[in-house]
Amino acid sequence: MLVRRPGLTCALSLLWLFAPLALAADERDAARLAGEGRFDEAAAAYRALVAANPQSVRLRLGLADALSKDRRWDEALAEYEQAIKLSPNNAEALSSIGSIRRWQGHIDESVKAYERMRVAAPQDSAAVLGLAGTYAADHDFTRAQQLYDEAAKRWPGDRSVQNERYNFARQANPRVYVYFEDDLSFQTRIGGGAVPFLAREEIAAEHQQELRFLSQTGLKTFERTDNRLLYTHYFGFNRALEMSFKSSSFTYDVPTTSFTAIDKFDEVRVRYAYPIIPEQVASARYTARPTTLIGGEKFTSHKIEAEIQSQWNPSVQTALGTGLLHDLKDTAVTTSDTTNQVLWRLGAQVTLSDRADVSLRYITNPDLDSSIYSTTLIQAGYTFSETYSGIARMRFDDYKAPPDQSSYYAGVRITPNSRLWTEFGIKYVTRGLRDGFFGLASVVYRF
């Protein structure tokens, strides 16, 4: 005989009644954590909810979004795929998969996700815009332009469509730039422009003047003037062929008797970058520099370099490079006095959050006149908003002729729209007994 327990029945009824309310409260807490930028905590909260409600597409998407914003892309992809198994035509999951695959450099996978989204949600402009953005990242500007034009025609009143099309036009249009930097040892002025054309081509021209100063007195020793032409062909994402020609001449303010002092040189450079896998990009570069010395003697220096850039996870990237430089010795008295130097290029970048990152670079023999053994750069950046970001940098130059130089830089980057990119800053420089404050300014304008 079944015995009813009124108290137990009432408790179960209340539990059944209030369970959805408790779930809603927990979901609101998870959403709040995500809204506050506490993505790791939000992911943990959503994961507990998903464990209790494994068939909920909404909760899985919440978990996947939190993981994605926490840059745990592989985990996020797994959750988006689970959401698609539960809801095969879920546009949000397909769009997010397309975005993550593009960020990772898996262009084909990104295209497939957005194409599936176009079929599943033909009235959603995000599918066409996402596909256009992926082709743009792959430097297929012709296909990207067709898709942006299609979106603008189908959704003429959608401001986001018009804005993305406008921003792409800035990427595909010509740009001009100027750059100025000053310190105790050099002053650099650069002006140039670049013109994309056809589907995957770009040609650029640049003029540079660099002044060099004596470390003890600050008197100018020479001025170098460079004119450079650069051609780039993009085969796709992270795969490109670059060829450049540079003509440089030197003007000396302080008379020099050094045999190795340069009068002028021409430089031919070829670089090819190829992604071994999307997360690892290898590059090789060859440089030949036929040089005329101040005394009229001629020789040609050669440089061969190789580098691998690796994206170990969404937050950590490294670069390892080496090379060989065939050049005159610092103490050369004839053009037969040459030396072979091993070159190194080391780098690492860590993304601390969606706003902050820090990087380190070490380069041997980085300059044209071989006056520096090595340069070390430590840099940190922080994004305050879409318009403003801050940057701090420390640089240490190990000069062949002491003393060495240290500089500490703080600047701000201002990007009010997709046409204009600017950076302005000030740095404190010390070298030997001399020190001072100097400026840096950079402006890029896209038509």
What domains can be seen in the chain, in order of their start residue? 15-171 (1.25.40.10), 173-446 (2.40.160.50)
Mean pLDDT of 10-24: 49
Say what the pTM is: 0.85
> Do 145 and 115 touch, CB atoms closer than 8 A?
no
> Do 161 and 150 touch, CB atoms closer than 8 A?
no
Confidence of residue 217 (pLDDT cuts 50, 70, 90): confident
pLDDT tens by residue, 300-321: 999 999 999 999 988 999 999 9
- DSSP sequence for 140-153: -HHHHHHHHHHHHH
Confidence of residue 365 (pLDDT cuts 50, 70, 90): confident
Who's near 388: CB < 8 A, 6+ residues apart? 412, 413, 414
- Write the CA distances from 48 to 41, 44, 52, 394, integer angstroms: 11, 6, 7, 44
Indicate if the pLDDT at residue 216 is higher than 90.
no
- DSSP sequence for 95-144: HHHHHHHHHHT-HHHHHHHHHHHHHH-TT-HHHHHHHHHHHHHTT-HHHH
Only one residue has tokens 């240290």, namely 406
Count Cβ neighbours within 10 Å for each residue of 317-347 and write b for 16 or more, e otherwise.
Answer: bbbebebebbbbeeebeeeeeeeeeebebbb
pLDDT of residue 218: 84
Phi, psi of 263 (to 5 degrees): -90, -45
pLDDT tens by residue, 62-100: 999 999 998 899 999 999 999 999 998 899 999 999 999
> Do 195 and 174 touch, CB atoms closer than 8 A?
yes
> What is the token pair recorded at 200?
């995957």
Sign of CA dihedral 149, 154, 158, 161: negative
Phi, psi of 348 (to 5 degrees): -155, 145
Only one residue has tokens 């001072």, namely 436
Who's near 200: CB < 8 A, 6+ residues apart? 139, 140, 141, 233, 234, 235
